[in-house]
Amino acid sequence: MKLLTFIIVLLLGIHLNYIQKEKPVDDSVNNELIELSEKLLLQVKMEEPTSTIEKRLNDISFESLRIGLPSDKAKLTFWINIYNAYFQILAIQKNLEKPAIFTKKVIPIANHFFSLDEIEHGILRKYRWKYGLGYLPDPFPGKKIRHLAVEKTDYRLHFALNCGATSCPPIAFYNYEDIDAQLRLATESFLETDTKIHEEEKVVYVSKLFLWFRADFGGRSGINRILSKQFNIDFSKYKLKYNDYNWDTQLQNFND
């Protein structure tokens, strides 16, 4: 009887241990990292000095950065805020212009210099090639980018990143708890503003983001689903056309 009891307890222990290992853990997110990204963006909006927060971000160890953002939810929150803040910093404080503003590795985080392109296409898009419409991966993203990248690309990030152009979505403050709802609202707002539907001609005009990052949206069928969900129209028989993208500079375009 004692032997049977021992076996049952042992099996229960193994089972519980298995459940604990299988249960996704998301409480290990480093809230300080998220808060620093929000504070940096706030300083940018208020046109206040950013050097102190920049130094704190750079003083973080790479390992702390890697393990402190354990989920795509955490990575999206942190890196979207960082991208939007640093575009403004590089444009206003450093006087960088396109295309150098995207490619120069001048963003100091965790004792490593990142570029805006690395943040967008390497980390947030899981190392996809910038010019491949989302279909082509970058075969050599670098070890650090691989460690920091999301597990799965969330197409809604394209409606959250602001690259200083008039046609870009406005800048919002993203927080860890609400980012899913925030990205949903950002997507809905952008689509409502930037989509033109001509029902008689069966033509729908959309942002060129849908062309440049076509695969991120799931190709043509994915784009149809996104539009149909937003407008409650079957777009499968519509011709897809793209609005001209206004690259005129519009800095400090915050959503409030």
Q: Please calculate the CA angle 149-226-229 and round it to the nearest 5 degrees.
A: 135
Question: For residue 5, with 0-12 CB atoms within 10 Å meaning exposed, 13-18 middle and 19 or more buried, which class applies?
Answer: exposed
**Residues 53-83 pLDDT 10s:** 999 999 999 999 999 999 999 999 999 999 9
Distance between CA atoms of residues 4 and 248, nearest Å: 76
pLDDT of residue 32: 97
**Residues 83-97 pLDDT 10s:** 999 999 999 999 999
228 alpha carbon, distance to own chain's centre: 23
Pairing of strands 239-242, 196-198: unpaired
Distance between CA atoms of residues 39 and 155, nearest Å: 25
Q: Please calculate the CA angle 60-38-158 and round it to the nearest 5 degrees.
A: 105
Q: Please calculate the CA angle 72-74-76 and round it to the nearest 5 degrees.
A: 65
**118 near 148, Cβ under 8 Å?**
no
pLDDT of residue 26: 53
Q: Where are the domains of the chain?
A: 31-172, 195-242
Radius of gyration of the chain (CA): 22
pLDDT of residue 22: 37
Residue position matching structure tokens 């898009």: 125
Q: In the structure encoding, which two tokens stand for residue 94, read together?
A: 């450093």
Ranges of residues in the chain whose predicted pLDDT is under 70: 1-27
114: amino acid identity, one letter: F
pLDDT of residue 256: 76
